[in-house]
Amino acid sequence: MTIPAPPGDQNPVGQGSAAQDPWSPRPSEPAAPHWPSYPMPAPQPRNGMGITALVLGIVGVALGLVIILFWMSWLPALLAVVFGCVGLSHARKGLATNRAMALTGVILGVVGLLFAVGGGVFTVIAVKEATEHARAEADKAEASAAAEKKRKKAEEKARHLSFGAAYTFGNGLKVTVAKPRPFIPDDFVLGHAKGNKAVEVTVTVVNTGTERLSVETGLPNVNDANGASTELVIDGSGRQKVITGYVLPGKKAVGKYAFSLPPDAADKVEVEFSPDAKRWADAYWSGPN
């Protein structure tokens, strides 16, 4: 007896078994398409730091060369050193190609800093020396003013004398004023009121130089101790003599003058005299009359 085949199993023996066998090898898959390879572009070098360092270094050095601009040079010089060091770091890592430029920027930055420090030191020294010089000049001027004041004070003191003392003026005329003596005017008199007290003043001028010298102002001025002025007395006695004209070398001229003092005049009188009031300050003789 023949056993019929199960339905649906129509494939002949040996066909389709491989597809149905899970242990059979699978057919190979189609290969992926192959694309041609292209070279990747190289990264751009990061040269900005080196360029910046170089520019800032040049600016720092240029400013440092001008002494008065030293205070402006330190900042670009310092930035040049910083940026230059960053540029050198990039160059070591292969990120930059301008190592020489970055190194130059660092060097210029250091030079600029040295210029800034040197300019600062120079300025401090110059200011200190200028201040000391100004102080010395001020002290010198003050000392000179004090010496001049002292000299004038000494001259002023030297021009105040007692009756009978001599004073030599700058032109070489030595003047002596004698102590005033009582003077009695004659009946014909001008400048003397009744009740006043008249005195005679004698002025002697000696030429101590080698050339003749003129006496431009031969009249003395007489005041009492209270500052009251007196009147010049003129009478017909001929006893008054005014010094005028020239005094020859080694010679002397004597002038005699009479003055009228008010009744309440102080006992002490002062006589002022100068041979040339435009050139020489008056000398003063004082004492009791």
Q: Are 193 and 260 in contact (CB under 8 A)?
A: yes
Q: Are residues 103 and 184 in the same domain?
A: no
160-162 and 283-288 beta bridge pairing: parallel
So what's the pLDDT on residue 32? Answer: 56
Q: Are residues 165 and 126 in the same domain?
A: no
CATH number of the CATH domain containing 277:
2.60.40.1240
Q: Are residues 205 and 117 in the same domain?
A: no
So what's the pLDDT on residue 28? Answer: 58
What's the structural domain count of the chain? 2
**Angle of the 48-65 helix axis to the 70-92 helix axis, nearest 10:** 160
Residue 218: what residue type? G
- Is 226 inside any structural domain? yes
- How many angstroms separate the CA atoms of 58 and 107, rounded? 10
pLDDT in tens, 190-243: 988 888 889 999 999 999 999 999 998 768 999 887 777 788 999 888 888 999
DSSP secondary structure code for residue 217 in this structure: -
- Is 35 inside any structural domain? no
- Is 96 inside any structural domain? yes
67: containing domain: 48-130
CB contact burial 186-224 (16+ within 10 A = b; e otherwise): eeebebbeeebbbbbbbbebbbbbeeebebebbebbbbb
Distance of CA 51 to the CA centre of its chain: 43
Pick from 68, 70, 79: nearest CA to 115: 70
Using the 3D structure, point to which of 130, 153, 176 is the last residue of a domain: 130
pTM for the full model? 0.54
- How many angstroms separate the CA atoms of 163 and 183, rounded? 17
Confidence of residue 31 (pLDDT cuts 50, 70, 90): low
| Backbone region of residue 250 per phi and psi (left: phi > 0; alpha: psi in -120 to 50; beta: other values) | left
- Is 87 inside any structural domain? yes
Candidate from 30-39, 202-211, 249-258 with smallest mean pLDDT: 30-39
- How many angstroms separate the CA atoms of 239 and 244, rounded? 16
Q: Are residues 212 and 124 in the same domain?
A: no
Q: What is the mean pLDDT of the chain?
A: 85
